[in-house]
């Protein structure tokens, strides 16, 4: 009764509405609200299912297959032309330059006289050695003559001693000892003569050092002295000034630093083409002759020398050619399109489709042929990789490969 009182007081009575009508209306409103909530719950699940479907639907990725082939290509490498032989000319003895017959640019032949020095002390030493040889020879000749005479005397006395009482034993002994002494003196004088002749040969050799001879066919590329200059031995530390510098230019060395990744294909005897800025449009050829067979720890390159024949003299040492270096792999390697390789701050990688998901595979790149680039990593020939990478293609994402043909040219 108390509850009915409160309802009766708080709810104004509408005209024509009974208490039962009001209760029925309230129930209808409640039922409508309940049905409205139910509709809301019924419409919610389809929207959520669509979202889930959108997330789990595999993405379609344009792919190409990893191919395997042997790398054969050419890369541009800088080189340097050097003389096949080069020498700085120093005299072997000190002296004053008396005459010089060549200048910068002079062509010389092996054995050609190019300069003459003056050294009075060397000339004096030669004269003294000649005099000693002359004196020793005279003494030897005199001693040999005396030996011959004393031996004849001894032989005569020995024959006479066969007759008893003609020659005493003492006389025979004296003659024998005299001949033996002469023989010893002759031997000693012969040794003296040989020593004097050796000294003379040394003096003559020293004198020959006053004549400067070209050591090989070549061209004079530098001249530093003029007649009257005092010159002497040098070349030990490399800081002394030489008289001349001679280079062999008919035969040149072309030196190229080959990157470590390409050294496996270096072949002795292989012909290599190159160009120089001085002759636009012309191509020259060298032959691989002397690989260093050692990689420089600083530059990670291996020096390789090629022989270049330059009989026409058109090429010059010091030129920097552009070398078309051939690159060969001893075995087949893997290739993918250049667009398939992505790079970040840490590594290079490709996106491979494996087991219906995207997998990021780290790679190292090598040579490039057309649109293809050589790759090294956990890949196999026939693996499918994404042609292009993007932020939408993330590792672990479900994916369907869509193969796209690419000839790589």
Is residue 349 within 8 Å of 386, Cβ to Cβ? Answer: no
Which of 328, 355, 387 marks a domain boundary?
A: 328
Q: Which H or E run includes 229?
A: none
Asked if the model's pLDDT at residue 47 lies above 60, the reply is: no
Does residue 302 fall inside a structural domain? yes
- Percent of the chain scoring above 90 in pLDDT: 64
* d(C-alpha 369, C-alpha 336), whole Å: 10
pLDDT score, position 158: 82
Residue whose tokens read 């003659």: 175
Are 259 and 299 members of one domain?
yes
Q: Are residues 307 and 281 in the same domain?
A: yes
Residues 299 and 370 in one domain: no
Lowest mean pLDDT among 9-13, 166-170, 249-253: 9-13
Are 141 and 182 in a shared domain?
A: yes
Residue 192: its pLDDT value, please? 95
Mean pLDDT of 101-123: 96
Dump pLDDT digits (tens) for 2-31.
443 333 334 444 444 444 444 334 444 444
Count the domains in the chain.
Answer: 5
| Range of lowest pLDDT (128-132, 348-352, 396-400) | 396-400
Classify residue 55: in a domain, yes or no.
Answer: no
Q: Does residue 10 share a domain with residue 125?
A: no
We report the CATH number of the domain holding residue 264 as 2.40.30.170
Cα separation, 270 vs 290, whole angstroms: 11
Contacts 24+ apart (CB under 8 A), 403-408: 403/63, 403/64, 403/65, 404/62, 404/63, 404/64, 405/64, 406/64, 406/337, 406/371, 408/67, 408/335, 408/337, 408/369, 408/370, 408/371, 408/372
| 3-state per-residue secondary structure call for 277-288 | CCCCCCCEEEEE
Please give the average per-residue pLDDT across 106-133, as a whole number: 96
Distances (CA, A) of 406 to 343, 350, 352, 387: 22, 16, 16, 9
Q: Has residue 45 been placed in a domain?
A: no
Q: Enter the DSSP assignment of 205.
A: H
**DSSP letter (8 states) at residue 305:** E
Per the DSSP assignment, residues forming a β-bridge with 275 are 322
Q: 238 with 101, same domain? A: yes
262 and 238, same structural domain?
Answer: no
Each residue of 273-324: pLDDT tens digit? 999 999 999 999 999 999 999 999 999 999 999 999 998 899 999 999 999 9
Q: Report pLDDT for 391.
A: 81
- Which of 188-197, 214-223, 256-265 comes out lowest in average pLDDT? 256-265
**pLDDT tens across 119-132, in order?**
999 999 999 999 99
Domain of residue 292 covers 75-84+246-328
What pLDDT does 409 receive?
A: 54
**323 and 336 together in one domain:** no
Q: What value does the mean pLDDT take over residues 244-254?
A: 96
Is 365 inside a domain boundary?
A: yes
Given this model, what pLDDT does residue 35 score?
40
DSSP state letters, 90-132 = --SS-EEEEEE---TT-EE-TT-EEEEEE-HHHHHHHHHHHHH
> What pLDDT, on the 0 to 100 scale, is given for residue 328?
83
Structure tokens at 73: 């290509």
pLDDT of residue 236 exceeding 90: no
Residue 245 to residue 223: CA distance in whole angstroms: 7
Whether 367 has a pLDDT exceeding 80, the answer reads yes
Same domain, 252 and 322: yes
Percent of the chain exceeding pLDDT 70 equals: 84
pLDDT value for 250 = 95
pTM, full prediction: 0.65
Note the pLDDT of residue 56: 63
Q: Could you tell me if 136 and 128 are in contact, meaning their C-beta atoms sit under 8 angstroms apart?
A: no
Ranges 155-159, 243-247, 298-302, 395-399: which has the least confidence: 155-159
Q: 27, exposed or middle or buried, with CB in 10 Å at 0-12, 13-18, 19+?
A: exposed
Task: Check: CB of residue 110 under 8 Å from CB of residue 214.
Answer: yes
Together in a domain, 226 and 343:
no
């Amino acid at each position: 009764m108390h509850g009915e009182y409160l309802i009766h007081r708080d709810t104004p009575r509408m005209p024509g509405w009974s208490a039962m009508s009001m209760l029925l209306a309230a129930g209808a409103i409640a039922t409508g609200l309940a049905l409205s909530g139910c509709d809301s719950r019924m419409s919610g699940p389809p929207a959520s299912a669509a979202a889930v479907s959108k997330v789990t639907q595999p993405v379609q990725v344009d792919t190409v297959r990893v191919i395997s082939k042997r790398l054969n290509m050419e890369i541009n490498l800088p080189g340097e032309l050097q003389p096949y032989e080069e020498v700085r000319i120093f005299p072997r003895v000190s002296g004053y330059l008396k005459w010089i017959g060549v200048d910068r640019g002079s062509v010389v032949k092996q054995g050609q006289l190019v300069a003459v020095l003056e050294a009075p002390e060397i000339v004096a030493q030669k004269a003294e050695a000649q005099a000693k040889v002359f004196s020793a020879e005279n003494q030897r000749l005199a001693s040999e003559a005396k030996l011959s005479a004393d031996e004849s005397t001894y032989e005569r006395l020995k024959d006479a001693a066969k007759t008893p009482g003609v020659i005493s034993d003492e006389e025979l002994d004296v003659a024998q000892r005299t001949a033996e002494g002469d023989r010893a003196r002759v031997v000693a004088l012969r040794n003296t003569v040989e020593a004097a002749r050796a000294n003379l040969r040394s003096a003559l050799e020293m004198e020959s050092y006053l004549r400067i001879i070209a050591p090989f066919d070549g061209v004079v590329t530098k001249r530093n002295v003029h007649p009257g200059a005092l010159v002497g031995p040098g070349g030990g530390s490399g800081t002394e000034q030489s008289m001349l510098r001679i280079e062999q230019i008919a035969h040149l060395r072309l030196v190229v630093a080959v990157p470590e990744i390409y050294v496996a294909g270096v072949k002795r005897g292989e012909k290599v083409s190159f160009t120089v800025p001085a002759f636009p449009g012309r191509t020259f050829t060298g032959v691989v002759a002397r690989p260093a067979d050692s990689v420089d720890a600083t530059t990670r390159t291996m020096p390789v020398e090629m022989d270049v024949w330059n009989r026409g003299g058109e090429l010059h040492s010091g030129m920097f050619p552009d070398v078309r270096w051939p690159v060969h792999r001893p075995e087949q390697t893997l290739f993918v399109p250049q667009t398939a390789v992505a790079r970040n701050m840490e590594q290079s990688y490709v996106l491979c489709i494996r087991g219906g998901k995207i997998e990021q595979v780290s790679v190292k790149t090598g040579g490039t042929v057309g649109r293809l680039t050589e790759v090294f990593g956990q890949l196999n020939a026939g693996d499918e990789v994404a042609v292009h990478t993007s932020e939408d293609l993330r590792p672990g994402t479900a994916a369907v490969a869509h193969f796209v043909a690419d000839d790589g040219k």
